[in-house]
C-alpha cells in the first residue's frame, strides 16, 4: 500500500513536471487491475535496494525491477545523467546507510541535477523552456524517460527512507 501511495505521489509530480496538470480534474473510478500471477523469467541483482525492499512480494518486485531496467536500457536519455538524478534524489531523502553505497553521490557537474532538485522541492518550478530544451536535446522520449525515472526514484526512496533494513 505504501509503495502505491509513494508512486502515486511521484507520478503526480511527473504529470506536473511535464506541464500536464489539468486546471480541474474529474474523478473517475476504475477497478483495480488484477495483477499477473505469472512470474517474469528474469534474474535481477539481489543487492538492488528495491529487490531487498520488495522481496516479500516477488511478483511486484520483479515487475518494478523490469520497468527500472527498461528505462536504463532505452538509451533515450544519457545514463550518466540518470545516474546523477538517481544519486541526487538518494541524497535528498534519508535512505538507510545500508543502501547508500548502491546510489553513489551525483557530483555537481551534471546538467540534470537542477531538474532533480526542482522535482523534489517544487515540481511546479519546472518550466516549459526547460522541458523544451530537454526535448530538443533528447527528444520527447528522452523527456518522458527522465520524468519517469524521477517519479520512480522519488517514490522508491520515500519508501526506503521509512523502512528500517
DSSP string, 34-91: PPP-SPPS----TTSHHHHHTTTSHHHHHHHHHHHHHHHHT-SS-HHHHHHHHHHHHH
In a domain, 125, yes or no: yes
What secondary structure, in 3-state letters, does 112-140 show? CHHHHHHHHHCHHHCCHHHHHHHHHHHHH
Lowest mean pLDDT among 14-18, 100-104, 135-139: 14-18
In a domain, 148, yes or no: yes
Q: How far apart are CA 47 and CA 19, in angstroms?
A: 35
Give how many domains the chain has, as a whole number: 1
User: Which three cell numbers, joined as nine digits, stand for 60?
Assistant: 511486484
pLDDT at 150: 93
Domain membership flag for residue 74? yes
98-126: average pLDDT: 84
Q: What mean pLDDT, rounded, does the chain reach?
A: 83
pLDDT of 165 above 70: no
Q: Does residue 84 fall inside a structural domain? A: yes
Does any domain span residue 32? Answer: no
Give the residue with greater pLDDT, 163 vs 66: 66
Kindly state whether residue 157 falls inside one of the protein's structural domains: yes
Residue 126 lies in a domain: yes
Measured distance between the N- and C-terminal CA atoms of the chain, rounded to whole angstroms: 18
Structural domain boundaries, residue 121: 2-20+45-162
Position 132 in a domain: yes
pLDDT digits (tens, 9 = 90+) for 69-108: 888 888 899 988 898 899 999 888 888 888 888 888 766 7
Amino acid at each position: 500500500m505504501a509503495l502505491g501511495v509513494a508512486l502515486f505521489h511521484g507520478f503526480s509530480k511527473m504529470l506536473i513536471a511535464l506541464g500536464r496538470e489539468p486546471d480541474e480534474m474529474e474523478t473517475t473510478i476504475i477497478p483495480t487491475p488484477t495483477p499477473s500471477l505469472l512470474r517474469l523469467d528474469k534474474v535481477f541483482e539481489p543487492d538492488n535496494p528495491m529487490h531487498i525492499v520488495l522481496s516479500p512480494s516477488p511478483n511486484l518486485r520483479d515487475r518494478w525491477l523490469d520497468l527500472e531496467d527498461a528505462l536504463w536500457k532505452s538509451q533515450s536519455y544519457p545514463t550518466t545523467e540518470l545516474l546523477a538524478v538517481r544519486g541526487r534524489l538518494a541524497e535528498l531523502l534519508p535512505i538507510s546507510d545500508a543502501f547508500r553505497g548502491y546510489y553513489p553521490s551525483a557530483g555537481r557537474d551534471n546538467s540534470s541535477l537542477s531538474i532533480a532538485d526542482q522535482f523534489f522541492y517544487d515540481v511546479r518550478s519546472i518550466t516549459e523552456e526547460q522541458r523544451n530544451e530537454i526535448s530538443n536535446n533528447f527528444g520527447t522520449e528522452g523527456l518522458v524517460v527522465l520524468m519517469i525515472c524521477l517519479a520512480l526514484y522519488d517514490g522508491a526512496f520515500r519508501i526506503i527512507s521509512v523502512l528500517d533494513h
